[in-house]
Amino acid sequence: MKGKIYLDNAATTETHPEVLEAMIPYLKGFYGNPSSIHGMAKYARDARECARSSVAELINAEPKEIYFTSGGTESDNWALKSVAFGNRSKGNHIIVSKIEHHAVMNSCEFLEKNGFEITYLDVDEYGTVDPEDVRKALRPETVLISVMYANNEIGTIEPISEIGKIARENGVLFHTDAVQAFGHVQIDVKRENIDLLSASAHKLYGPKGVGALYIREGVKLEPLVHGGAQERGVRAGTENVPGIVGMGKAAEIAKRDMVERNAKETELRDHMVRRILEEVPFTKLNGHMIQRLSGNVNIAFRFIEGESVLMMLNHKGIFVSTGSACASGSLDPSHVLLAIGLEHEVAHGSIRFTLSYKTTRDEVDEAVDAVKESVERLRAMSPLYADHLKSGIEKMEV
Ligand SMILES: *Cc1c(COP(=O)(O)O)cnc(C)c1O
Tens-place pLDDT, residues 194-218:
999 999 999 999 999 999 999 999 9
More confident residue, 368 or 391: 368
The CATH number fitting domain 17-254, selected from 3.40.50.720, 3.40.640.10, 3.30.420.40, 3.30.1490.20: 3.40.640.10
User: Residue 328 — pLDDT band, cuts 50, 70, 90?
Assistant: very low
Instruction: Give residue 73 CA to ligand 1 midpoint distance, Å.
Output: 6
pLDDT confidence bin for 391, thresholds 50/70/90: confident
Our mutation pick for probing the ligand 1 site, out of 15, 160, 177, 240, counting the most ligand atoms within 8 A of Cβ, is 177
pLDDT at 389: 86
Tell me which residues are annotated as active site: 326
- Using a 10 angstrom Cβ sphere, with 0-12 exposed, 13-18 middle and 19 or more buried, the burial of residue 171 is exposed
Q: Helices H, strands E: what count in the chain?
A: 12, 13
Indicate which residue's Cα is closest to atom 12 of ligand 1.
Answer: 179
Q: Using pLDDT thresholds of 50, 70 and 90, give the confidence band for residue 170.
A: very high
**Does residue 173 carry a pLDDT above 50?**
yes
Q: Nearest-CA neighbor of 170 among 144, 133, 196?
A: 144
pLDDT above 70 for 395? no
The boundaries of every CATH 3.40.640.10 domain in the chain are: 17-254
Tell me: pLDDT of 115 over 60: yes
Dist. CA 75 → ligand 1 center (Å)? 9
Q: Which atom of ligand 1 is nearest to the CA of 209?
A: 7
Amino acid letter, 87: N
Contact indicator for 179, 72 with CB cutoff of 8 Å: yes
Q: In the predicted model, is pLDDT for residue 305 greater than 60?
A: yes
CA–CA distance, 63 with 52 (Å, rounded to integer): 5
Instruction: Indicate where the chain has its CATH 3.90.1150.10 domain(s).
Output: 5-12+258-391
Please choose from 12, 182, 185, 200 the residue to mutate so as to test ligand 1's pocket, defined by most ligand atoms within 8 A of CB.
Answer: 200
Q: Which residues form the pocket of ligand 1, taking CB atoms under 6 Å from any ligand atom?
A: 71-73, 76, 101, 103, 148, 152, 177, 179-180, 200, 202-203, 211
**How far apart are the two ends of the chain, measured CA to CA in Å?**
36
Nearest to 148 by CA among 107, 109, 198: 198
Is the pLDDT at 263 greater than 90, yes or no? Answer: yes
CATH level 2 (architecture), domain 5-12+258-391: Alpha-Beta Complex (3.90)
pLDDT digits (tens, 9 = 90+) for 33-83: 999 999 999 999 999 999 999 999 999 999 999 999 999 999 999 999 999
